[in-house]
Chain A
Amino acid sequence: AQTVTQSQPEMSVQEAETVTLSCTYDTSESDYYLFWYKQPPSRQMILVIRQEAYKQQNATENRFSVNFQKAAKSFSLKISDSQLGDAAMYFCAYRSDGANSKLTFGKGITLSVRP
Chain B
Amino acid sequence: GAGVSQSPSNKVTEKGKDVELRCDPISGHTALYWYRQSLGQGLEFLIYFQGNSAPDKSGLPSDRFSAERTGGSVSTLTIQRTQQEDSAVYLCASSLAQVPRTDTQYFGPGTRLTVL
In the complex, are the beta carbons of A98 and B100 less than 8 A apart? yes
**Neighbouring A residues of B108 by C-beta, 8 Å:** 44
In the complex, are the beta carbons of A102 and B104 less than 8 A apart? no
Which B residues between 86 and 116 are near A, CB-CB below 8 angstroms? 89, 91, 93, 95, 97, 100-101, 103-110, 112
**Neighbouring A residues of B31 by C-beta, 8 Å:** 100
From B45, B97, B109, give the contact of A102 (CB < 8 A). Answer: B45
Asked if A52 is an interface residue, CB under 8 A from chain B, the answer is yes
In the complex, are the beta carbons of A43 and B89 less than 8 A apart? yes
From A42, A103, A107, give the contact of B45 (CB < 8 A). Answer: A103
Digit string of A83-115 for contact with B (CB within 8 Å is 1, else 0)?
A: 000000001000001111011111110000000
In the complex, are the beta carbons of B48 and A44 less than 8 A apart? no
In the complex, are the beta carbons of B101 and A106 less than 8 A apart? no
In the complex, are the beta carbons of B105 and A103 less than 8 A apart? yes
CA distance A97 to B93 in the complex (A): 18
In the complex, are the beta carbons of A47 and B104 less than 8 A apart? yes
Asked if A16 is an interface residue, CB under 8 A from chain B, the answer is no
Nearest residue in B to A45 (C-beta to C-beta)? B107
Digit string of B28-43 for contact with A (CB within 8 Å is 1, else 0)?
A: 0001010100000011
In the complex, are the beta carbons of A47 and B48 less than 8 A apart? no
Instruction: Give the top 9 A-B pairs by smallest Cβ distance, nearest first.
Output: A45-B107, A105-B43, A102-B45, A43-B110, A107-B42, A44-B109, A100-B31, A100-B97, A43-B109
